[in-house]
Structure 1
Amino acid sequence: MGFFRWLRRAATERAAVIDVHLNARLQPMHRGDRFEDPVVAALESAGLRSGVLDAGTAFTRGMRIVSCDVSFGVPIDQADEGLFQIKKALRAIGTPRGSTITMYSNELDPIGSLYGVALRVPLVDAVDFTDDRNIEHNRELDALMIRIDSALGDDGSVWSWHVHRGSDVFVYGDSRGRLHEVLESLIASDPLLAGATLTDVA
């Protein structure tokens, strides 16, 4: 964090800082794939020089993922346009309810419409392998997430997961009812999900 604080101080001398709080439970690499990279690409497509000044994923003391934060920098003379373009990009990407955006630490502006549900899988508690992006996997969990995505179709998808003393799978979509319907059906039929629970997270 020391490097990021230094970078942020240096950047704010010539850039407006736009802070986005994401009510999304994402591993760092998933946060970058789903939000950081697409937002920066959208800003650049709009003709704005931009970059990520700081980013992080918050965990509980028990090492359960809670939320994410990303700070984007845009030229000071394009601050208002940058704020507009970031909001536009977040809406296009799809952002969970409870997320906020602010510039210059002013009042938080709510953004986001998607619902989120965390599926707790107590029977999956071991990492089988780590991929070339340093993301930890369990093969049974990977197969389960494919089944979840298939069952949801266009109604939602798995955004991230975390294997730690059991596993958490984070699923987002347009309808909380539909997310529960699909996940409850899988819990009722899949032995791997014995003892699994659902928690609304957005």
Structure 2
Amino acid sequence: MFKNLFGKKTPQKEFITITLNAKLQPMHRADLDDALSIVLDKQNIGDICGGGSLLEDNGEIQECNIEIEAIDSSEQAIEHILSFLKNTLSPKGSRLRIGDKVIPFGEHEGLGLYLNGTDLPDEVYQNCDINEAWAEIEKLLGDEGSIHSYYQGNTETALYIYGNQFEVMYQLIKPYLDSYPLCQQCRVVKIAG
């Protein structure tokens, strides 16, 4: 009678590390963590147990990690995780590590828009609003991409845009970049892809 009760094995836990080639502030990574937690719970895969960011020398985020303590690390469980990321944020150059196995993944390309924060005329900074630029860029991108995070540095403010194709996203926002005073002297950099 008690043999079956005490003879049950607890599921073997395994750690999965997702490294996103994405420049996400901790609060934006936390939003992704929360959404992924719902998938992990629903599919009985495990729980998020940590995460972090790798910083560049200037303090800008280079990439970020999400760590999962998994009770199910089957191929099907990994597919659920990768499918979720594909539908939310899956920059090219990302990888999933489970034990010694590394699975590269990524569908999205990234565009870093670096706005000059020091060299424009004072009236530009006084009369222009980064929030207006953010909203207009989101509108122009439509379904092609979205701003996922930002960085406020000493000389620049960066908006991190991820979407289907870098060149398409750039062409959609270029007329605005050329016309809005706050975007003068900006830099556009491919950050994933």
TM-score (norm 1): 0.79
Task: Give the structure 2 partner of residue 141 of structure 1.
Answer: 130
Among 43, 57, 60, the alignment partner of 1:46 is 43
Contact 2:89 2:162 (C-alpha < 8 Å) held by counterparts: no
One-letter code aligned to 1:68: C
TM-aligned CA deviation for residue 153 of structure 1: 0.9
Q: For this pair of structures, how many residues does the alignment match?
A: 172
Following the alignment from structure 1 to structure 2, what is the Cα–Cα distance between the partners of residues 198 and 87? Answer: 28
Task: Give the structure 1 partner of residue 7 of structure 2.
Answer: none
Contact 1:123 1:194 (C-alpha < 8 Å) held by counterparts: no
Q: Which runs of 4+ in 1 moved over 6 A?
A: none
TM-aligned CA deviation for residue 84 of structure 1: 2.8
Contact 2:41 2:47 (C-alpha < 8 Å) held by counterparts: no
Contact 1:124 1:141 (C-alpha < 8 Å) held by counterparts: no
**Identity score, percent:** 23
Instruction: Report the aligned-residue RMSD.
Output: 2.0
Following the alignment from structure 1 to structure 2, what is the Cα–Cα distance between the partners of residues 100 and 183? Answer: 29
Among 157, 164, 176, the alignment partner of 1:174 is 164
Look at both structures and tell me which one has the larger radius of gyration over its CA atoms: 2
Contact 1:187 1:194 (C-alpha < 8 Å) held by counterparts: yes
Contact 1:18 1:83 (C-alpha < 8 Å) held by counterparts: no
TM-aligned CA deviation for residue 183 of structure 1: 3.0
Question: Could you list the runs of 5+ residues in structure 1 that have no partner in the other structure?
Answer: 1-12, 126-138
Contact 1:74 1:82 (C-alpha < 8 Å) held by counterparts: no
Q: Does 1:95 align with 2:79?
A: no
TM-aligned CA deviation for residue 160 of structure 1: 0.4
One-letter code aligned to 1:66: Q
Q: Residues 42-91 of structure 1: CA distance to partner in whole angstroms, max 9, x if unpaired?
A: 1111133x22222012211211121111111111xx22143232122212
Call closer, same or farther: CA 1:145–1:124 in 2, change over 3 Å: farther
